[in-house]
């Protein structure tokens, strides 16, 4: 789809908001798991973490993200990198998600 413009960061975040941790009914962006998005030559690179290093769903989550990103017009490839620094904490959850999870401070 070379006629399509390269995806924007907003396009990527829109798709990432459709991806969920299977154990928590909140999207990955609002959980604070997405650390960064970079788009280079129509390749989308996402840096993220998981709620815990032992999370068994990591491969499934990254595959879902990659599949959805590849569905964005203009995205030629997608890479998802899981990092552990900084470690995720519940403080990274957005205020809206905290309200949804009844975690109001």
Domain boundaries along the sequence of the chain: 9-88
pLDDT of residue 1: 44
pTM to 2 decimals?
Answer: 0.91
Pairing state between β 77-82 and 43-48: parallel
| Residue, of 8 and 21, whose pLDDT is higher | 8
pLDDT of residue 105: 57
The arithmetic mean of pLDDT across residues 26-33, rounded, is 96
| Residues whose CB falls within 8 Å of the CB of residue 76, separated by 6 or more in sequence, listed in order | 41, 42, 43
User: Which class is domain 9-88?
Assistant: alpha beta
| Residues whose CB falls within 8 Å of the CB of residue 19, separated by 6 or more in sequence, listed in order | 27, 28, 61, 64, 65, 68
Query: Is-contact 13 68, C-beta < 8 A?
Result: no
User: Which strands form 43-48's sheet, in the order they lie side by side?
Assistant: 34-40, 43-48, 77-82
């Amino acid at each position: 789809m070379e006629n399509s413009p390269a995806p924007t960061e907003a396009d990527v975040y829109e798709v990432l908001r459709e991806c969920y941790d299977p154990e928590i009914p909140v999207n990955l962006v609002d959980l604070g798991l997405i650390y960064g998005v970079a788009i280079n030559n129509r390749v989308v690179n996402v840096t993220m973490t998981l709620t815990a290093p032992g999370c068994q769903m990591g491969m499934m989550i990254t595959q879902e993200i990659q599949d959805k990103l590849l569905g964005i017009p203009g995205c030629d490839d997608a890479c998802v990198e899981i990092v552990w620094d900084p470690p995720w904490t519940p403080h990274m959850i957005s205020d809206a998600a905290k309200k949804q999870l009844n975690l109001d401070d």
